[in-house]
Homo-oligomer: A and B are copies of this chain.
Amino acid sequence: MKLVFVMTLLLTIFISPITYSKTSVADEDGYRLWLKYDLISNKQQRESYSSSLANANINGHSDTINIIAQELEQAIPSLLGSKVSVTLNKSVQSDLLIEKTNKRLVSQYQIKSQIEQLGEEGFLIKTVKDKKGKRTLISANSDIGLLYGTYRFIQLLQTGQSINALNIIEQPKTQIRMLNHWDDLDRHTERGYAGESIWDWHKLPEIQSQRYTDYARANASIGINGTALNNVNANSLILTPAWIKKVKALADIFRPYGIKVYLSVKFSSPQQIGGLNTSDPLNNNVQKWWQNKAKEIYNVIPDFGGFLVKANSEGQPGPGDYDRTHAEGANMLAKALSPFGGNVIWRAFVYSHEDKTERSLQAYKEFVPLDGQFAENISIQVKNGPIDFQPREPFSPLFGAMPKTPLAMEFQITQEYLGFSTHLAYLAPLYEEVLDTDTLVKGQGSTVAKVIDGTLDNKALTVMAGVANIGTDRNWTGHIFAQSNWYAFGRLAWDHQLSSSDIANEWIKMTLTKEQKAVEVINKLMMGSREHIVNYMTPLGLHHLMATGHHYGPGPWVDDLSRADWNPVYYHRADEKGIGLDRTITGENGVAQYAKPWKEIFSDPSQTPENLLLWFHHLPWDYQMASGEILWDELVNHYYDGAAAVVEMDKQWKLLEEHITPSQFNQVSMALSVQVKEAKWWRDACVLYFQTFAKRPLPKGLSKPQKTLEHYRSLSFPNAPGQG
């Protein structure tokens, strides 16, 4: 009787959190991200895992080791529904042994060759046998490597892989895998669509939100090891003593998770907060100021990562203000950080208000001549394309053009131009497309990825950065699927050879469902999603058609901004004859910045990939496309296909209801209803606008937009989020 009561009680408590009453706090609101350790429903699999995971022993002494133990204590019982005994530094014969590499391990398990491949952060997960039996060994050259191995091992359980005969050797292909937060000190986030900055600066250092720990944990689980906390449009206050204390508090929380803190710095800080009357990088006092500032920071944050700098770009101060080069500016900072092991990450996204050269051409023009002049602790961070994170761009011509300089990749994870946080856009295919592009600068196989990972030109300092999509929204990223972009960025920064589809499958199983049919449907949704957005926003190489400032919605008609190359009309050049921007030698000549044979390929419309056609060429409305359609019809079809694909995504998603927790299902359903609406908005506004030039009817079978162009032009959204 008593047992029955207890059982009832436990059942009640057990069951109550998985009923999704409208009046109750949703239990699966997305906060846990991909680190959901829910009971594996396949009993056979669970029992199979359990039988070889009754106990785990970790050898070591550090906060990181304690985190490993906590993570296992949390994950194994929750996933398997079985008890696990996790011990620290016990000489037990455990099913799972986690220990740093050492002579004993090497000789006992014959793992010399494997261990040689691990580097500082890599790990080995290997099924080993000894006299006492079979066990899983996780080893690494550092505690952080052990933590990474542990997350990888848990991921195997989460995604239902066998753990019977493991021999996994991994080490990251990029040295610095970092997030860039464009977060202002007042918590506004530039291009943030998931609430405000998670850094509650005002309350730091004393008040330390649980989020900070959970943020570090999520990043560590995918191998992210750096974070630049503040906006590249930087506020010099971040370097004042009061703020350094706040930064230290975060650094202390992140350290055991292997994450270093970086700060975006304003080049004019010596004047703004240092009392100097110049910030000239060749000035002695300026140099000393930065050296002292570095010392001050490292005094409290001994593993500080370094500075991220946006200089002489969009009005930011920089060395150019004193007729110094980017190299002279960066080298000064590099010298200040060098004694402490810090790096300078200097952005190549530069264009000056004075220089009338088209903005997309300026980075190459300014940086390529400086190749070889940068100190060795500097990496030049280049956006993936020459303009600014458009749904599709060709690769930046800087990749491959600066063989003597480490180049960092800057991807945007936040969806500034891809539907904010209401459009389902899985970005790994975009990242993959860029990384896999062959620059051909050293013959076939000179991929962008090899520029970034340093193997093409033998670089030691390698960096991949992603502009974060993280905010205070409970689900971190505003859209449940936007979590997949954070995840995929981390995975690709760790290993750019992973396929975006495989990453999607990992993420789906860890985040949404393990049901195979549902995984397949969702994989398809995700893999197609970015191309749908290209189609309904900027097909065939069109770009920069969005509304001014907030970039919310279409604005192809915008022509009133002070700088010519800020206006959408500059980029699409639609007129009665045709559409597209001639970037060949007869036009803006952007092709000249590409090496052979890309220069020739991009110069010739018939060779240019159709998905970049209008990026490089102005072509007549009746230009013949490969499909047999004329350009106008093809263009319109892309717009209609894109919008129709979203309707189909919405339908497909609705069929998945039984496999997805209600809160996740509803969040995505609501977002899809916005996306359906906004995809049509983009389609209709752009088609109606371009039709005023093309003066041709829609291809047969397509229904006319219901609203007028004037309606779309009249819309205004002064409070749209994320404004820069």
| A interface list, Cβ under 8 A from B | 7-14, 16-17, 21-26, 29, 31-32, 39, 67, 70-71, 73-74, 77-78, 81-83, 185-187, 195-196, 200-203, 206-208, 210-211, 213-214, 217, 237, 421-422, 472-474, 663, 667, 670-671, 673-674, 677, 717-721
Contact = CB atoms under 8 A, between A and B. Distances in A.
Contacts of A73: 21
A21 B207 contact: no
Contacts of A214: 25
A74 B77 CA distance: 26
Given A10-B10, A196-B472, A203-B674, A22 B213 contact: yes
A671 B13 contact: no
Contacts of A474: 210-211, 474
Contact of A202 (B7, B202, B210, B720): B720
A670 B16 contact: no
B32 A210 contact: no
Given A195-B196, A202-B719, 20 more contacts: A8-B83, A10-B10, A12-B77, A13-B39, A13-B78, A16-B74, A16-B78, A22-B67, A23-B74, A23-B213, A24-B70, A25-B31, A25-B32, A29-B210, A202-B721, A203-B422, A206-B671, A206-B674, A207-B670, A207-B674
Contacts of A206: 422, 670-671, 673-674, 677
Contacts of A670: 206-208
Contacts of A9: 39, 81-82
B77 A23 contact: no
Which residue, A22, A71, A217, has most C-beta atoms of chain B within 10 A? A22
Contact of A23 (B14, B70, B671, B719): B70
A422 to B, nearest CB: 6
A303 to B, nearest CB: 20
A202 B208 CA distance: 29
A228 B200 CA distance: 27
B77 A186 contact: no
Contacts of A674: 203, 206-207
Contacts of A667: 207
Nearest to A73: B21
B12 A81 contact: yes
Identify the 4 closest CB pairs spanning chains A and B, nearest first. A9-B81, A10-B10, A186-B719, A23-B70
A195 B31 CA distance: 17
29 contacts: A7-B7, A9-B39, A9-B82, A12-B77, A12-B82, A12-B83, A13-B14, A13-B39, A13-B81, A16-B74, A16-B77, A21-B70, A22-B213, A23-B71, A24-B74, A25-B210, A26-B210, A29-B210, A185-B719, A186-B719, A195-B195, A202-B717, A202-B721, A203-B421, A203-B422, A203-B674, A206-B677, A207-B674, A210-B474
A77 B186 CA distance: 44
A610 B584 CA distance: 83
A17 B7 CA distance: 17
A481 to B, nearest CB: 14
A721 B207 contact: no
A237 B718 contact: yes
A564 to B, nearest CB: 30
Contacts of A195: 195-196, 200, 472
Contacts of A7: 7, 10
A31 to B, nearest CB: 6
Contacts of A81: 8-9, 12-13
Contacts of A207: 422, 667, 670-671, 674
Contacts of A185: 719
Contacts of A12: 77-78, 81-83
A553 B185 CA distance: 18
Nearest to A722: B202
A22 B70 contact: yes
A70 B548 CA distance: 47
B187 A196 contact: yes
Contacts of A663: 210
A31 B210 CA distance: 13
A185 B21 CA distance: 30
A215 to B, nearest CB: 12
A237 to B, nearest CB: 7
Nearest to A208: B670
Contacts of A17: 17
A26 B217 CA distance: 14
Contacts of A720: 202
Contacts of A719: 185-186, 201-202, 237
A422 B205 CA distance: 12
